[in-house]
Amino acid sequence: MERPAPLRAKVLWPALLVALTGARLILAAYVPLAPDEAYYRLWALAPAAGYLDHPPLVALCMRLGMAVAGDTAFGLRLLGPLLAGVGSVFLAWAASLWAGRAAGIRAAVLLNATLAVGLGSLVMTPDTPLVFFMAIMLLALSRLCAGGAGWLWLLAGLAAGLGLDSKYTAALPVAGVGLWLCAFPAGRRWLLTIWPWLGALLAGLVVTPVLWWNAHHHWASFLKQGGRVEDWHPTRMLTFMGELVGGQVGLASPLVFVLFAGGVVLLWRRRDSFGSLLLYVILCPALVFVQHAVGARVQANWPVVIYPALALAAARWHPRWWPAAPVLGVLLTGIVVGQAVWAPLRLSPHTDVTLRQMGGWPSLAHAVDAAMPAGLPIIADEYGLAAELAFYMPRRTVLAVEPRWRLFALSHPACGTQGYLLRSHKRADQPDTHWFDVLDGPSAPVVRSRGGVVADTYVLYKVQLRCEGGENPMLDAARLPMRQPQLAAGL
């Protein structure tokens, strides 16, 4: 038996968690918006049961934060640090039921030391609620394996369904639970009761709105995510595998990654009831990601769905050096966040992802606004660029042109509308004549920079929106919601 955590640790770790959550809330107001975040903000302002790229829960989280703190970076991210803090408590509870209070503290500390959670709690993405609901699911399953009542399957099913409402990758650990129920004796005993079936039914009911939205939009979201399997290049397998492993070493942080791997090995060797369940929850998604990497790229953040389970597994392996792992993870997270906010290092956008994704958007918006005549809209044919302009140009109408906007409940501009199209120099082609008649341009370059380091260069074209066959309005274009800092006061 592992010795219980000393009183000092029992008091210290909640205090550290509260302090960490407070620091994250403060930093959330200062880290510039990434393009995907600005895009999810548009989801929050155009509520729907589903969207092209992901299910809707990230939009709901943003909308709730905006109801408290307005249409600001802080409002959009308010729930991120809070969900990370509360989810850490749930994860610690799950680990303590299984392996003792000290293991619970380690699990929470290790999860928070990953860059995935350290940065993900500051930048609102679908992974933020996903990790939170995976922690709740694991807590319910841990209590079940510790002799808990059958109704806990309802909690597990609710968390699984809300996880699926956050991101489709939640289906992979949920599938792992299903395999455990079929393969492990304790799981098969549960299948003889009604509770797992009721839990599955509840999960299905929670996901029903997403299914309804897809059914009424030609299964657009499912086809987009499922279409990734068509991009298959087995000759690049070594590259994709290297990216998969390297991405996890980076997002977990190097020493935490070693503890994650060691924890999985320990699970394999010591298979109690909950340990076996964790193994299925981890290996089912991991094997899917490895199989996908045989011929296609696995995005670094996809495996984040199993980080709570990996933190639980790692909590049972505590070599003497384990405290160095969270220290290194927090240090690396601090470096990245510090670069995003203060940019002490003058790095090129090729090596500095914070510059590439977040740097210079307010100054670009100001420069573009100054270069345009009053009254005309700014137009973008990239969703991330359009979303950033809609946030940082609150006094200018922003039009977005791309087929994805057909799926949004937003107003559409009429054919013949004139405005200025902003395009990155990386777009080597000319404005698409299917959408635009070019009236003038390109203009002199306008740069997006931070601290004198250029992140990207843009040019403006004066254009007129056109529609084939005289279609009116232009359905591939949308008038994006203007920024509403006063939103909190109005709700």
Residue 350 lies in a domain: no
Residue 245 lies in a domain: yes
**Whole-number pLDDT of residue 484:** 72
Residue 348 lies in a domain: no
Residue 486 lies in a domain: no
Are 159 and 278 in a shared domain?
A: yes
Are 467 and 373 in a shared domain?
A: yes
* Helix or strand holding residue 401 (H, E): strand 398-401
Hey, what's the torsion of the CAs at 285, 287, 292, 293, to 10 degrees? 120
Percent of the chain with pLDDT over 90: 86
Q: How big is the CA angle at 215 (ends 210 and 220), to the nearest 5 degrees?
A: 80
> Among residues 176, 92, 173, which one has the least CA distance to residue 130?
173
pLDDT tens digit string along 365-380? 999 999 999 989 999 9
Q: Please determine, for residue 174, whether its predicted confidence score (pLDDT) is greater than 50.
A: yes
Number of domains comprising the chain: 2
Percent of the chain with pLDDT over 70: 95
Q: What is the residue-averaged pLDDT of the chain?
A: 93
Residue 48 lies in a domain: yes
**Whole-number pLDDT of residue 331:** 97
**Whole-number pLDDT of residue 489:** 43
Residue 217 CA neighbour count, 13 Å, CB half: 24
Are 180 and 274 in a shared domain?
A: yes
pLDDT tens digit string along 438-454? 999 899 999 999 999 99
What span, in angstroms and rounded, lies between the C-alpha atoms of 97 and 396?
A: 55
Are 276 and 402 in a shared domain?
A: no
**Whole-number pLDDT of residue 490:** 42
Report residue 80: phi and psi, to 5°.
-60, -60
Are 289 and 395 in a shared domain?
A: no
Question: By residue range, what is the domain housing residue 210?
Answer: 7-342
Are 84 and 168 in a shared domain?
A: yes
Are 313 and 374 in a shared domain?
A: no
Residue 371 lies in a domain: yes
Domain end: 342, 376, 395, which one?
Answer: 342
Are 258 and 399 in a shared domain?
A: no
Instruction: Report H helices in 167-229.
Output: 171-183, 185-191, 195-215, 220-226
Are 172 and 286 in a shared domain?
A: yes
pLDDT tens digit string along 17-48? 999 999 999 999 999 999 999 999 999 999 99
